[in-house]
């Protein structure tokens, strides 16, 4: 998974940027009061992405709901 996609997912779930570390970016889930670090690599292993989401107590990136415009295009493709 690309780091940019993971960060978009994290921020869409309500988490916020906290600070930059030496080789990591730190995000916080203010509602659950949980903190996790995201490594600064272009690609992040899917297992690591799931671990980060578990630490922040948010949905896994693969289980996230599709946006409405993507649902409509999927329905149109199946016709």
* Local mean pLDDT, 10-residue blocks, the chain (79 residues): 96 96 96 96 96 96 64 58
Question: CATH: 3.60.150.10, 3.30.920.30, 3.40.1530.20, 1.10.630.10. Which one for 3-56?
Answer: 3.30.920.30
Residue 73: its pLDDT value, please? 56
Residue 70: its pLDDT value, please? 56
Give the Cα separation of 64 and 79 in Å (integer): 24
- 65, with CB counted inside 10 A (0-12, 13-18, 19+), is exposed
User: Could you tell me the sign of the dihedral formed by the alpha carbons of 35, 41, 43, 48, in that order?
Assistant: negative
Residue 63: its pLDDT value, please? 74
Residue 54 φ/ψ, nearest 5 degrees: -65, -40
Residue 78: its pLDDT value, please? 60
Residue 67: its pLDDT value, please? 56
Give this prediction's pTM: 0.77
Structural contact between residues 16 and 7, judged by C-beta atoms closer than 8 angstroms: no
């Amino acid at each position: 998974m690309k780091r940019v996609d993971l960060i978009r997912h994290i921020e869409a779930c309500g988490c916020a940027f906290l600070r930059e570390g030496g080789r990591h970016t730190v995000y916080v889930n203010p509602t659950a009061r949980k903190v996790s670090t995201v490594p600064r690599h272009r690609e992040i292993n899917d297992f690591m992405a799931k671990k980060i989401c578990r630490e922040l107590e948010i949905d896994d990136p693969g289980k996230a709901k599709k946006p409405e415009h993507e649902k409509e295009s999927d329905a149109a493709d199946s016709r």
